[in-house]
Structure 1
Amino acid sequence: MCTSLAFPERGLYGRNLDLEYHFGEQVVLTPRKFPFAFHHHPALAEHYALLGMASLAGGVPLYAEAANEKGLYMAGLNFPGNAHYFAAPKEGALNLAPYELFPLVLGQCATVAEARQLLEQVHLVAEPFGPGYPLAPLHWQIAGPDGVLAAEPMADGLHLYEDAWGVLTNNPPFPWQQMNLNQYRGLSPATPENRFAPARELEVFGQGLGGLGLPGDASPASRFVRAAFYKQNAVFPEDRAGQVVQFFHLLDAVAMVRGSVQTPEGRWDETIYSSCLDVQGPPVYYYKTCESGCLHAVRFTEEAAAGREPVCHKPVTEPGFAEHTLA
């Protein structure tokens, strides 16, 4: 499942990773001189450094979301039933396996405009990382200071959409999600006028009545609407730490609580972690896990970026509390 949010004007990007299992995720900084190999493209011996959440496959980071040192962000989200990869390479195209998008886009592009120019050439080939690795059906959000894109691989090619809302969830495809917002144009954070019966007094019995009709379930369409509503109306404090905390409040509003969503296999779909990448300066990767609940920060360092091997941080999964004693 999953929800990704982008605030280009604030340099804040991140997501909820909703899944019924862990995938060996670690916060990984990939240095500039770590070589990325490709099936149908020359290897990248040198590239921008990347920081984000990934699993390591034979020492190679497979990112779920990341930002590069230039501030370009990318997240992959589940897109089953719609995602389409081609059986064979296409002559004259930029042929890539789905997992190769992260290193090529974030490794070479500093802006969304550069990413769009690259993605317009892409032909996605149905090639997993290796034997035994799944071919995940994905679509992607790409964001930077010059905008936000949604990239969706369909049977007729890779579609690129301007994502002015800065929101991406899962199915249906992005144009439907955007059109669906028209049904909620009457919602507001303010108390609504009495248009039902203006001649009669209808009592306002509590706050939040302007949001009546905002869907509260965990389906992708409902999360898209809810995320767009909260994001559009969010009020951020002046201080940077407070802005990061507010970003996590937005993610909390579309998170999956353990026990609320059951898969057909009888497992619990839940938000296993939430993340926020602050790219105003050298990237900082903030996260919290389902088990811990505390915010943690992993900072980009020039020393790690100048190395040759990925540097990893295992997410904290033990509950932590700031203890206070009453005198």
Structure 2
Amino acid sequence: MKKQLVVVTGGSGFIAVHIILQLLQQGYAVRTTVRSEDKEAVVKEMLMNGGIKDLSDLSFSIVDLSADSNWEETMTGATYVIHVASPTPKLNFKNEDEMIRPAVGGVLRVLKSARDNGIKRVVLTSAYGAIFAGHKNRTTPYTEKDWSNLEAKNVHPYQKSKTMSEMAAWDFVKNEGDGLELAAVNPVGVMGPVLSAKYSHSNIQIQEMLEGKIKALPKVDSGYVDVRDVASLHILAMTSEKANGERFLATTGETLSMMDVADILRGAFPKYADNLPTKLIPNSVIKAAAIGNPKLRMIASIVGGYAQTSNKKAKTILGWNPRPAKTAIIATAQSMIDLGIVK
């Protein structure tokens, strides 16, 4: 029997490679997109480190989210698409369009190509950033019903790009989808095992904490979730009848401060305890510093903010059951120590 083919965009990314790993383990064939040939070796290395012995069901397609070429060949013969690739947040952008345009354009390019090539369902990796930004005086956990308020002041362009690209996806499917199915997954802070020293930027704060590069922490609360559970939620959203037309918050439902994260690392890795931060930075200091330092603007927009989330929908509808945030954080650090990333 021929294996069902799933296209996964952005194969070298942290979430994408874990999705590919689980798809191969579950007997799917995978075609993943990368921006250049040199990324293929990295993807293969990560999958082998993740325990895949046989890569014969994996193929690569070189495409760019900002260009039209090669998408048809990429989609041919596939049943599903999991669209994970997204432009990396730019810290030094001239205007917010630099972030928003590529994100929205990339999503629409993938959806059009999926529709035109008879794909059954696209699962979009959106973000918690499309849910929580711009809400003042919040007192109840965020759910999938919430959308970031783009009219609010101080919403970072990265959150805007995530919100607008997901909105554009739902609009497209409703008005031009021609029967194409869509589900979205909105992860909070993603932790979990890194599979290569050439890992993505998403977990750098754990490395920097363990190395003693962070002397004090901002008062930022966040949900955290293990990348392995984010991957499994994408696959449930791909295959479940009930997931069509739905978005799912990928969160354990716990809320941790950055100091909580440091304390978890302190308890689990006593050897690094002296490197880990114990001081907090007042919110006013960060906000003032961000005026002159664009790199601090994203953090300044969320310090002191409410960050409770609910995972009731993914648990109830899809039977998803994530491991605790503490487990995910420890797994991140352990993998970085094992791979020699932490110096």
> One fold, TM greater than 0.5?
no
Q: Which has the higher contact order (CA 8 A, sep 6+)?
A: 1
Task: Give the number of the structure whose residues are more often helix, by fraction.
Answer: 2
Task: Give the number of the structure whose residues are more often strand, by fraction.
Answer: 1
Which of the two has higher C-alpha Rg?
1
